[in-house]
Structures are given as C-alpha cells and as structure tokens.
Structure 1
Amino acid sequence: MTSFLTKCAMDWFIAFGVVLGGTLLGGIGAVLIMEPPTTRMLLISEQIKIWAVVAAVGGTIDPIRVIESNLTEGYISPAIKQILYIVFAFIGAQVGTSLIQWICKGGNSS
C-alpha cells in the first residue's frame, strides 16, 4: 500500500511540476520574444497538461497496455491501480494549470 501511495504522490508532483515549470519557462520565452507573457502562459498551461500526465505515468503507452492486459485476464486490482495513477497525474496537472490561471489573472475568478 505504501508503494502505491508513493507512486500516486510522485505522479501528482511530476505532472504538477511539468505544467508549472514548462509554463513559467514559456513565460520567460514570451518576454524574450516580446509577447505578452500571461497570454502565452495561459495557452501553454492548457496545451502542456496532457503531456504532463503522459510524462508522469511513464511517457509511453505501457500503462494502457497494463490496464488492457489485466482486464482481459480478469485481474481488476492492477488495472484500477494504473487508472488511479493516471487520475492522480491528471489532478496534479490540473492543479498546476489552475495555479497558473490564478497567477496570470491576478487571483480573480472572472
């Protein structure tokens, strides 16, 4: 159980870090090419979210294969674990995107 929770936490932080780091560096790049950084950062945070999930769960199609092979063999627990890893990574990426949106919009929810 501990290794499962550790992997969930790591997937969350990796996805969060990919979104946050990629977006902040993209904002620096926008400044260097004379574009509005907040506009570019909002766009990047949405575009990079799916790649953050992919990076967090392993960067390949293997997690999907694990789900498929375990379900066809009748093993539900490993498939559910893989799905939960993906869910935790998605939540981390979404929190990163929400944080960037909050920062770029000045904390206003409008």
Structure 2
Amino acid sequence: MVSFMTKCVMDFFIAFGVVLGGTMLGGIAAVLTMEPPTTRMLLISEQIKIWALVAAVGGTIDPLRFIESNLAEGFISPAIKQILLIVFAFIGAQSGTALIQWICREGGVH
C-alpha cells in the first residue's frame, strides 16, 4: 500500500511534469510552425495547468465525489486527505508554470 506522503509527492511531480513536458513540446511545435516559442509556451503553461491537476488526481469528478460522500457520512479524515492531494497537485502545476514563466522571461531579457 502506498503511503499518503508518497501519493502527495507523486501527485506534485505528475502535475509538474505534465505542465513542463506539455509546454516544452508545445514550444517545439511553435518553432516548427514559425511562431514565437516563448509566447506560445507562456500561453500553453497557463492553459494546461488545470489538465495537469486533473491528470495528477486521476479524474475529473471522482475525487470530488469521494470528498462529498465522506463528508456526508461524517468521515472527515479521508476527505481532508483527498483535498490535500488536490492541493499538492495544484502546487505542482503552479510550480511548473512558474518555472516556464521564469525560463521564458529570463531568456527574453538578454
């Protein structure tokens, strides 16, 4: 059985990787289509963030149903754990977006 902290770390890095990988590949596509890659990468990093969160937590509605059903039955601990998993995934997606913004803005300053 996977520990809770292991799942938190996995969710963080899955969301981080989806943002980073999707944005980098989008940047390559921008070069191939003769678009400015940094502009496209900044746009993609913002747009893909929610999908990174969804990919990390494993579905769009199931985690929310899990939270709702546990709270309705009075089980607060499982609901809080699920909320924390979503928070870790959000932090991972946000960190990936921040890294892309830092890379794109730093590269354009020189």
TM-score range, shorter chain: over 0.9
Between the two proteins, the alignment pairs up a number of residues equal to: 107
Q: Distance in 2 between matches of 1:34 and 1:16?
A: 27
Residue aligned with 2:60, SS: coil
Q: CA deviation at 1:59?
A: 2.3
Distance in 1, Cα, partners of 2:43 & 2:60: 24
Return the TM-score normalized by structure 1.
Answer: 0.94
Partner Cα distance (1:86, 1:99) in 2: 20
Q: Return 5+ residue gaps in structure 2 as ranges.
A: none
1:38-78 Cα shifts (integer Å, max 9, x gaps): 00000000000000000000023110000000000000000
Matches within 5 A, 1:43-58: 43-58=43-58
Tell me which residue corresponds to 1:35: 35
- Map of 2:26 onto structure 1: 26
Q: Provide the secondary structure at the position in 1 that maps to 2:30.
A: helix
Question: What residue is the counterpart of 1:102 in the other structure?
Answer: 102
Equivalent residue of 1:86, what SS?
A: helix
Residue of structure 2 equivalent to 1:76: 76
5+ residue gaps, structure 1: none
Separation in 2, partners of 1:59, 1:24: 24
Shift of 1:107: 7.0
- Which residue does the alignment assign to 1:3? 3
Question: C-alpha root-mean-square deviation of aligned residues, in Å?
Answer: 1.3
